[in-house]
Structure 1
Amino acid sequence: MTTPDAPTCGLQRGLQRGWQRVKRAFWPDTLFGRLVLILAAGMFAGQLLTSTIWFDTHDNRTLEIPARLFASRLADTVRLLERAPDAAARASVLSALGDDRYQLHWVQGTPPAAPPAPSLTLRATSGLIEGVIRKRLGTPIEVRLLDAHLRDDDGRHRGILSLFDSRMPTGDFHVFLNIPQQGWLEIQSKEGQAGMHSERGELVFDYLLRIYLLRFAAVCAIAFVGVRFALAPLRQLTRAAQALGRNIHRAPLPETGPQEVRSAAHSFNAMQQQLIDSFAQRARFLAAVSHDLRSPLTRLRLRAEMLPDPAWRERLRGDLDEMEAMVRATLDVVQGVEVTEAHQKIDLDSMLEGLAADAREAGQAVSVSGATRAPVRGFARNLKRGLQNLVDNAIRYGGAAHIAVRDDGDSVHVTVSDNGPGIADDALRERVFEPYFRIASLRRDDGGEGEAQAGGTGLGLTIARSVAAAHGGTLTLVNRIEQGRIAGLDAELVLPRDD
């Protein structure tokens, strides 16, 4: 059995981690950013491929002036040779015209043929030279252009690179002319720009600025607008999915846009309808069960009243009251999770004052402090049910309740405090919100002996948390510590403002 080489595995892991870091640094995390990057990168790659055409064209234009000067000199050379009376005179003409930049030689025999597959520059230059000679002489002359390219200021053949760092690139030509009735003449020449020059780096700066930078900026701007417009249905789908948890009866998504978006919207609407039907079926089932249980409960109450022993009669009444309370609470849980009312502006201050006033009329101590800056948007009946459960819990376990309101502009914080024994830390975060989980046994006095007043069905906090989630908010419980001991429990309901 063989094992992989440890250094190799370490190197592979290092490369993988490095690639992940590079990917996180340069690869956007959003679909919007990725589409914009792909469009911009595609444009840039396409521009790189097509830029060779621009450079080749500019190379031809830079070579055009030397080629015209060279063609004019060739035409003058042919004219002088045709007028020479004899071979000695023609030799004198070649000697007088030749120098280091214009070399002429008679060719014995047939000269080399032109390249079978000339480049675009060579074809354009050959046609230009033939055209100038024909125009100057009035008759066509056979021209075989073997080479034509640019040299930089140092005399090096660098092709289009000479456009970037040469102030006056020159043309280098190698041609064979068929002089009528005299033979083939080989000419190698170097022709300059006749006083014209380009500043060093000017061309590349102009190209990068006007073609790359401006086009890149234009494509990015168009991509930002276009991709944002194209992704608008997806953003709408995201908002709808987020709102579905708060209000399952929200209006269906419009099935418009591209085919993929229409299909996604149709699937989303179908899922929403299935959830609505499922919740409605569950509510009907629980309502039917509740209705069916009322008849035997009523018969049990009648039979309990006929018991001769008062103690047994009272105990049976308590059991029946608890059963009815559990049935009602179960239906309340369903109603607390399922939002069927309209989303509207709620005067939270008036709602809290009303809850406190109702509690005081019943002889309970409830106070309110603080106020909101403006109404909040939500579901009034569900929100009132959740707040009522928090107040009832505070009164049940602490004897009194204090409601504190704080509005920071972005969200509203409603804290319901009591003076009870608090809740054990191991159940404070999640267990206490589980359905039918009663916290009476967890809220003890300072000495840890005895049980706080029992009551409730263990569904109040479940309903309150469901109401908070339906409003896009949170519900948290925190033991209030004063002088090193638990002085009560704070239930904080946070309602974000979405208007």
Structure 2
Amino acid sequence: MTEFVDVHAEAASGQGGVSKPAGHKSTRTGWRRLASQGRALLPDSLPGRFFMFMLLLVFASQLMISVVWNYQTRTTQEKALENVVFNMAMRVSSTIEYFDSLPNRYRHIILDQLRDMGGTRYFVTLNRDFIEIDELARTRSKDIVINGFQDTLDAFHANGDISIAFSAPETLRVFNNDTYLMELTESWGQHALIVEPLSLPILVIQVPVSNNEWLYLATLMPDYAIMSSSLPVDLQLIYLFALTVLLLFGSWMIYVLTRPVKQLSKAAENFGRSFEPVYLPEKGAIEFKTTAGAFNRMQRNIQHFLNDRKQLFSGISHDLKTPLTRLRLRAEMLDDDDERQGFVEDIDHLDMMVRSALQMVRDTDIHENPEPVDLKQVLENIARAGQSVGQKISLKYHEHELVTGKPLALRRCLENLIDNAVVYGGNADVSLSIEEGQNLIVIRDKGPGLPEGMEEEVFQPYRRFEHGQACNPGGNGLGLITARHLAGTHGGDLSLRNHPEGGLEVTLTIPFDS
């Protein structure tokens, strides 16, 4: 009785982790693991790998260019900043020397005159107290400014306790520790140090000019003090646009350059399935022209070989019919019954071998047009045919996909495998499922299986074992090799193994896009 079971989903079985002993891992093992992880990140396709390597090269080159650019820009800016700082420090030094030389009663008069003149980015005042500065965080550019002023002013005012620091406009105090710059009117200096909407850092220099008086000087530094080596936003957008165009053009070039390789792969796959030559155009790069020429010659040679094989077997069939008939007639005329029986058996065996060889050629050379095939329907038809003659076949279905192939060839392949399971194992338990992007058909019987290590030996032509000869004396040992060949023409594979619980398990894979 044939049993049909349709299963649409199965719970995936988990795999237990294998514990590894803790310990020191060698450097070589670490490198191997790192290399293995790197290979796992690579795309499978050749265009994908080319594109990834192109990205790596582009970004690596851009990184090196950026490093060199930033270093050169920063070096140039620092040099320019040092020159500006030196010149400003000399002017500040002259201002300090000038105020230091003035009598006390004239200092405030000069300050009022400077304030009324305007047109400068300096704020100068004389304070009775030292002003506490909320110093900004130090940076490379700020250090250059402070150190430059400190060195220059110390060289001319060695006896002075000079304070130099950067402050934000919002927290800058002037006149005393209670008065902020932001509280003053424009006439008192806001217009000199505040550049709206920017919040530029202000350099504050305080120099004692007498026992109870400090010369307070605040100024804005030039743009070098900010020292940004990054590109402007508009240039960054242009750069990103150009880089995108470059990557798109590179991707298109990769596609054009690797398209012949894909055509070669497709032609080889089609030829391997149907043995119908798919000739490639011998043009393009010299490497591909050479490869395409060699591939085309290989196809012609294989096609000639197959044609010669067909003609050879046809000739053998024709040439042996007459002598076999004559031998059989002569054997029938022998008087000795035992000798006559032996001759007849040898002639019948020779005739069977010739017929079976010719049958294998015909079975593996089925000319059909590929079309969508439902493997579930094919298996059901085979099972019903087997049921009609009393064969024990059970079917279990999981998820499956249609394949594009030759219906008669696929049926011949499955019939050979299922018939073998029934004849040599008593029954056939068949399951259909999906595994790793292809249909998986597993056929298991309850027979004795194969001798150990003979899983590939059984695919040799005319290779039969004692159990097979006892169960099917008329067999010829060509069923499995025929089934494997038919599976191969559909891009599939066939393998055998002894099941741990007994019997032989046959595994057949057929890709979806066959």
TM-score bracket, shorter-length normalisation: 0.5 to 0.7
Partner of 2:461: 435
Residue 509 of structure 2 is aligned to residue 490 of structure 1: no
Q: How much has 1:438 moved relative to structure 2? A: 0.9
Partner of 1:448: none
Find the partner of 1:478 among 492, 497, 506.
497
Distance 1:305 1:200, change over 3 A: farther
Residue 148 of structure 2 is aligned to residue 153 of structure 1: no
Distance 1:63 1:277, change over 3 A: same
Find the partner of 1:318 among 345, 350, 362.
345
Residue 480 of structure 2 is aligned to residue 465 of structure 1: no
Q: How much has 1:431 moved relative to structure 2? A: 0.9
Q: Is the contact made by 2:82 and 2:145 (CA closer than 8 Å) also made in structure 1?
A: no
Partner of 1:118: none
Distance 1:312 1:206, change over 3 A: farther
Report matched runs for 1:37-48 at 5 Å: 37-38=53-54, 40-41=56-57, 44-45=60-61, 48=64
Between the aligned partners of 2:146 and 2:363, the Cα distance in structure 1 is 86
1 or 2 for the larger relative contact order (CA 8 Å, sep ≥6)? Answer: 2
Q: Is the contact made by 1:336 and 1:466 (CA closer than 8 Å) also made in structure 2?
A: no
* Structure 2 counterpart SS, 1:246: helix
Q: Is the contact made by 2:444 and 2:506 (CA closer than 8 Å) also made in structure 1?
A: yes
* Structure 1 counterpart SS, 2:449: coil
* Structure 2 counterpart SS, 1:345: strand
Q: How much has 1:284 moved relative to structure 2? A: 1.4
Residue 349 of structure 2 is aligned to residue 343 of structure 1: no
Q: Is the contact made by 1:480 and 1:489 (CA closer than 8 Å) also made in structure 2?
A: yes
Instruction: State the one-letter code of the partner of 1:37.
Output: F
Q: How much has 1:279 moved relative to structure 2? A: 1.6
Q: Is the contact made by 1:36 and 1:220 (CA closer than 8 Å) also made in structure 2?
A: no
Q: How much has 1:256 moved relative to structure 2? A: 5.9
**With structure 1 as the length reference, what TM-score do the two structures score?**
0.58
Query: CA deviation digits over 1:13-38, x for unaligned, max 9?
Result: x9999988887776868755256425
Instruction: State the one-letter code of the partner of 2:352.
Output: A
Find the partner of 2:391 among 342, 358, 365.
365
Query: CA deviation digits over 1:167-212, x for unaligned, max 9?
Result: 89x9xxxxxxxxxxxxxxxxxxxxxx97542674643375996687
Q: Is the contact made by 2:395 and 2:430 (CA closer than 8 Å) also made in structure 1?
A: yes
* Structure 1 counterpart SS, 2:274: coil
Partner of 1:137: none
* Structure 2 counterpart SS, 1:204: coil
Between the aligned partners of 2:349 and 2:226, the Cα distance in structure 1 is 95
Distance 1:405 1:42, change over 3 A: closer
Distance 1:310 1:36, change over 3 A: same
Report matched runs for 1:414-453 at 5 Å: 414-427=441-454, 429-439=455-465, 441=466, 452-453=471-472
Between the aligned partners of 1:308 and 1:359, the Cα distance in structure 2 is 45
Query: CA deviation digits over 1:61-93, x for unaligned, max 9?
Result: 99999999x99x9xxxxxxxxxxxxxxxxxxxx
Q: How much has 1:237 moved relative to structure 2? A: 1.7
Residue 269 of structure 2 is aligned to residue 242 of structure 1: yes
Instruction: State the one-letter code of the partner of 1:472.
Output: G
Residue 439 of structure 2 is aligned to residue 412 of structure 1: yes
* Structure 2 counterpart SS, 1:231: helix
Distance 1:355 1:46, change over 3 A: closer
Q: How much has 1:335 moved relative to structure 2? A: 4.4
Distance 1:368 1:269, change over 3 A: farther
* Structure 1 counterpart SS, 2:462: coil
* Structure 1 counterpart SS, 2:513: coil
Q: How much has 1:380 moved relative to structure 2? A: 2.7
Instruction: State the one-letter code of the partner of 1:497.
Output: F
Q: Is the contact made by 1:342 and 1:379 (CA closer than 8 Å) also made in structure 2?
A: yes
Between the aligned partners of 1:289 and 1:297, the Cα distance in structure 2 is 12
Q: Is the contact made by 1:346 and 1:375 (CA closer than 8 Å) also made in structure 2?
A: yes
Aligned residues: 373
Between the aligned partners of 2:508 and 2:490, the Cα distance in structure 1 is 10
Report matched runs for 1:231-310 at 5 Å: 231-249=258-276, 251-255=278-282, 258=285, 260-308=287-335
Q: How much has 1:249 moved relative to structure 2? A: 0.9
Q: Is the contact made by 2:273 and 2:490 (CA closer than 8 Å) also made in structure 1?
A: yes
**With structure 2 as the length reference, what TM-score do the two structures score?**
0.57
Q: Is the contact made by 1:402 and 1:416 (CA closer than 8 Å) also made in structure 2?
A: yes
Query: CA deviation digits over 1:25-62, x for unaligned, max 9?
Result: 76868755256425652675378459868987999899
Distance 1:63 1:413, change over 3 A: closer
Partner of 2:475: 456
Report matched runs for 1:107-256 at 5 Å: 152-154=144-146, 196-197=222-223, 200=226, 202-204=228-230, 219-220=246-247, 222-249=249-276, 251-255=278-282
Instruction: State the one-letter code of the partner of 1:456.
Output: G
Q: Is the contact made by 1:477 and 1:489 (CA closer than 8 Å) also made in structure 2?
A: yes
* Structure 2 counterpart SS, 1:491: strand
Between the aligned partners of 1:300 and 1:353, the Cα distance in structure 2 is 45
Q: How much has 1:239 moved relative to structure 2? A: 3.1
Between the aligned partners of 1:331 and 1:203, the Cα distance in structure 2 is 81
Q: Is the contact made by 2:50 and 2:254 (CA closer than 8 Å) also made in structure 1?
A: no
Structure 2: state its 5+ residue gaps: 1-25, 96-142, 150-199, 204-218
Between the aligned partners of 2:505 and 2:36, the Cα distance in structure 1 is 42
Q: How much has 1:333 moved relative to structure 2? A: 3.7
Q: Is the contact made by 2:81 and 2:224 (CA closer than 8 Å) also made in structure 1?
A: no
Q: Is the contact made by 1:423 and 1:442 (CA closer than 8 Å) also made in structure 2?
A: no
